[in-house]
Amino acid sequence: MADVTDYKNMNGIALAYIGDCVIELEVRTFLLSKKIYDSATLNRNALSFVKASAQSAAFEKIEPTLTEEELSYYKRGRNTHTAKTPKSASAIEYRRATGFEAMFGYLYLSGQSERIKELFSLAYSDVEII
């Protein structure tokens, strides 16, 4: 098994892979804190957070608050070349979203749980729950 504490040597895709889970857990925790318990409503609202266009917009909101190290991990993910882009997002949005996920992967693997919560709150402060 790979040493997941060796995040400094992971490529952007590996960081985004774990970062996707980190963001998903934050989204689910947030939605449950709003006392939403119906699965259809949970899934519909989760899309407001996890689709590439939403993550791209969320990144733009937090970019000025990021440290140099956080930005470097974002860029590692953003600059990763992937074979496909989803139909629901532009190539730029998808690359930004991958960078966003990679940065959250770095934060998780480096044990920065408070920073994850802080950036998640800033990034999604204006998302409306329906």
> Among all residues, which ones are annotated catalytic?
20
Q: C-alpha angle with apex 57: 112 to 88, nearest 5 degrees?
A: 115
The per-residue b/e assignment along 89-116, b for 16 or more CB within 10 angstroms, e otherwise, is beeebbbbbbbbbbbbbbbbbeeeeebb
Alpha-carbon distance of 89 to 112, in angstroms, equals: 29
Q: How many C-alpha atoms does 127 have within 13 Å on its Cβ side? A: 24
Token output for 18: 């774990």
Closest CA to 33 of 111, 117, 102: 117
